[in-house]
Structure 1
């Protein structure tokens, strides 16, 4: 019987054989044979897309090969990511993956791949802090005031997010569980409408990436209350963290990485990592990323593999311990 598990095993075996059959000369010549496709598993304009378009030109120069950005949105990022998991393991098809790939497996989503099995880590790219922002007409002006208000008014607060199962959604769910309160989650189809309705007062607060709300905070259209984590951000150093407010166990952030299909030769992965790290260190690229509200991060492939393993364990524990359910 040709079950999904059996089919996946056959695909993995075929990919493994293809990697073994890849001539050493082809590995040595990488990436001279053809352009590299960098898959962005979300629509243009999001964090994955911004980072891809920031690093691709410089990486292209360093590698001496064209890098084509291919946006493949759908299924919460799973569609484009699965496409890369099934691509030839030769380094010519890559994907920008966010920390959401370490959350989805535990949210009752149908994830057609395993991030730790079906991909070869290339390296971390960057991160963006998630911040709690409020409509300026709301009575709470500081993070402690908001926490006190949320505890005293269970069920009276609503918060927006770019969609069910997103890191921003989980940030709100974990906050409510830790503070033994209730908040109504209002999911939107993307960051834009989520923030637009917050400014209009349709919802009271939002857990949002700094990159998506910085201009509105600076313009006085939104009030930033705190960083959803334990570490202050250099992008807004005066903004307190949830740790500063006494929530020592709370941490939510959004990180991005570069992945290749499993069994991509180590020499190819190393070459990609070297180009990625060099691109991130380029002053013009670093400035472009910072101006978009991101913090540059980089790593070796081994460091990223270890980090992904830790994040999978962390989110499995957080989602299970807090009884987080996502309706998709």
Structure 2
């Protein structure tokens, strides 16, 4: 049995170790934090990141450096963060397409369930069904009737197979019994350009991106995909209100970290983001853009990701969709 002196020494070592661990947790961050945005500048993820950045670096007391690492639907940036040290100094901001990576990219170099861990879902916004003003339909019901009367005569745009606008349009087709041809684009810019020009007639577009075009009369909003109407689209009914109960799709932006990042760091990040998002001035700014702040717990974000994966996997299988 260890002597009193040895037991005292062991106790001192344990306490010293605990003190060092506590100090390390309290000290983070002691250097700049890199916030990898997996998409180009100007998009919705980049937009949210740049609104969050000055407030987050003020809260952390260290610079937060935005690093746009786009490519392959966001998987380039995600792969880089998945390989980063799990020390809280490299973080990742992603779009809703993150949940469909395993469906779209079966040969991913990383595992979204094992190599990255959710920190918080930052904000969400509905998609808006928008049509070119030349389409002879002024509301959702008449548009569905038009599509049924002319199957295959209309096209919808997406930013690529497996994207939220692609899968939402396929869900719309499944529930309304309509047939619209999918025209995939390599990015939102070209897709919106052809939608505005009339080369394609419809698109499920992020509420944030659709808003300026709807306000200018260049696009017509027929329905939104959230459970409730977004304040920025108070006059636009939801798809559920239009007769298709249970139809709900939300675009979202989330924050992740490399797997193994200390829980104390994850909790600190989530707490600071929640404070920012719930600040009345910041919340109002989000709402004006059609966004709703969330900043839930990592566990809540996990639930969202699993639900998204289940929903879209089921749709892809039932509709035998090609995601290539």
- TM-score with structure 2 setting the length: 0.89
> For residues 269-310 of structure 1, what are the alpha-carbon distances to aligned partners after superposition, in whole Å with 9 as ceiling and x for unaligned?
111111111111233332333333322112012211222222
User: What's 2:52 paired with?
Assistant: 55
Runs of 5+ consecutive residues of structure 2 not aligned to the other structure:
1-19
Deviation at 1:152, TM superposition (A): 1.8
| 1:220 equivalenced with 2:217 (yes/no) | yes
Q: 1:286 maps to what in 2?
A: 283
Question: Is 1:94 matched with 2:91?
Answer: yes
1:31 to 29, 32, 38: 29
1:186 aligns with 2:187: no
| Larger radius of gyration between Structure 1 and Structure 2 | 2
Matched, 1:316 2:313: yes
| Aligned mates of 2:76, 2:228 — CA distance in 1 | 33
Whole-Å Cα distance in 2 between the matches of residues 183 and 112 of structure 1? Answer: 34
Q: Report the equivalent of 1:20.
A: none
* Contact 1:227 1:240 (C-alpha < 8 Å) held by counterparts: yes
* Residue 123 of structure 1: how far off its partner (Å): 0.9
Aligned residue in 2 for 1:143: 140
Q: 2:270·2:295 contact (CA, 8 Å) conserved in 1? A: no
Secondary structure of residue in 2 paired with 1:312: helix
Contact 1:40 1:70 in 2 (8 A): yes
Q: State the aligned residue count.
A: 304
Please name the residue that 1:42 is paired with. 39
> Is 1:198 the counterpart of 2:200 in the alignment?
no
Residue 203 (structure 1) shift = 1.1
- Given that residues 277 and 295 in structure 2 are in contact (C-alpha distance below 8 angstroms), is that contact kept between their aligned partners in structure 1? yes
**Residue aligning to 1:306:** 303
Q: Tell me, yes or no, if structure 1 residue 107 matches structure 2 residue 104.
A: yes
Contact 2:128 2:222 survives alignment (8 Å): yes
Q: Distance in 2 between matches of 1:81 and 1:58?
A: 23
Name the counterpart of 2:239: 242
Aligned partner of 1:120 among 117, 120, 123? 117
Could you report, residue by residue, the CA deviation over 1:213-265 in whole angstroms, capped at 9, with x for unpaired residues?
11111111111000124432222122111111222243222111111111111
| Deviation of the 1:163 alpha carbon | 2.3
Q: Provide the residue aligned with 2:173 in structure 1.
A: 176
Match of 1:162 in 2: 159
Rounded Cα–Cα distance in structure 2 between residues aligned with 1:108 and 1:64: 38
2:231, 2:287 within 8 Å by CA — same for their partners in 1?
no
Question: Aligned partners of 2:143, 2:292: CA distance in 1, in Å?
Answer: 27
More off after superposition, 169-178 vs 214-223: 169-178
> Conserved in 2, the CA contact under 8 Å of 1:228 and 1:251?
yes
Question: Residues of 2 paired with 1:316 and 1:83: CA distance?
Answer: 25
Offset of residue 169 of structure 1 = 1.1
Q: The residue matched to 2:124 in structure 1 has which SS?
A: strand
